[in-house]
Amino acid sequence: MDALALEKKAQRNAELRERLMQLKKERNAIILAHFYQRPEIQEVADFIGDSFGLAQKAKETDADVILFCGVHFMGESAKILNPQKTVIIPDERAGCPMADMVNVDGLRKLKAQHPNAKVVAYINTSADVKAETYICCTSSNAKKVIESLDTDEIIWVPDKNLGHYVSQFTDKKMIIWEGYCNTHDQLSVEDIMTLKQQHPEAVVVVHPECRPEVVSLADYVGSTTGILKYCRESSHKEFIIGTEDGTRYMLEKDSPEKTFIFASKYLVCPNMKVNNLKKCVEALENMKPEIFVPQDVADAARASLERMLEVAPG
């Protein structure tokens, strides 16, 4: 039965892929997918990337429609950068708990308490929060963004773990919000040490959204794109991976001869995984769920995103 079920699933996915390609052509659409998406979505994407790469690609595309396979704030960023284009997502329930941990009222109060500070917001934030922000950043360009600012005081939102990591590379005062990524934050020292004992030759690579004590154990710390590049170019053959399980697809595609051991079975973002091929097809058939951002919010948020792209164009 298992073999039959797998065969039926493969046949159904093939039918969905064919329909998706037909719709993409009809709609003049581009499919953008985050590295944490299901493998079958990464397989059909025109571009796969982390939040920085996807923001760049959304800005550059000449497609009329952007099907954004990620979470809601990513679709918002694409819409903000492309106000004349239609941006749709497969499932509007694909939110981000970390983005929800920071709110406009709280941020405004913090800004009032620190009037000389500039707000740096991780791109993993809502459009409303970006509108209250001087400049956005991602895990791949955060250090460069912070050092570009002519201020000695930074309000950092929302990820405390990434904020702590970045604070080690700057003399600026960092006022750090207490948010975190539910997926990365649960990775523990015990998880890493247990696997290191079992695989003493393995190289440990982790995302800076992990806890500081976990990051301190890593041989390499970097964004998702950074991790993929490091593992692809490294001469090592065995890696303990401290980031979301969706990266397995590209890691194994890039380096099929290498072994990747994920540091915990819980490194899965349920919000990223709500998207699937059927929902992608339905989104392009019905042209919804569509992303809308009020113009005043979009204009303010766009300034913070464009400052980021100017400072760190790639």
3-class secondary-structure state, position 180? coil
247 is in an annotated binding site: no
209 is in an annotated binding site: yes
Q: Using the 8-state DSSP alphabet, how is residue 45 labeled?
A: -
184 is in an annotated binding site: no
- What CA–CA distance (Å, rounded) separates 209 from 132? 22
Nearest alpha carbon to residue 229 among 52, 59, 109: 52
280 is in an annotated binding site: no
34 is in an annotated binding site: yes
Are the C-beta atoms of 122 and 204 separated by less than 8 Å?
A: no
210 is in an annotated binding site: no
Instruction: Locate 154 and state its tokens.
Output: 């930074």
Nearest alpha carbon to residue 234 among 217, 258, 200: 258
207 is in an annotated binding site: yes
3-class secondary-structure state, position 307? helix
Question: Which residue type does 193 have?
Answer: M
216 is in an annotated binding site: no
Q: Which residues carry a binding-site annotation for [4Fe-4S] cluster?
A: 96, 181, 269
Q: Which residues carry a binding-site annotation?
A: 34, 51, 96, 122-124, 139, 181, 207-209, 224, 269
Q: Which residues carry a binding-site annotation for iminosuccinate?
A: 34, 51, 122-124, 139, 207-209, 224
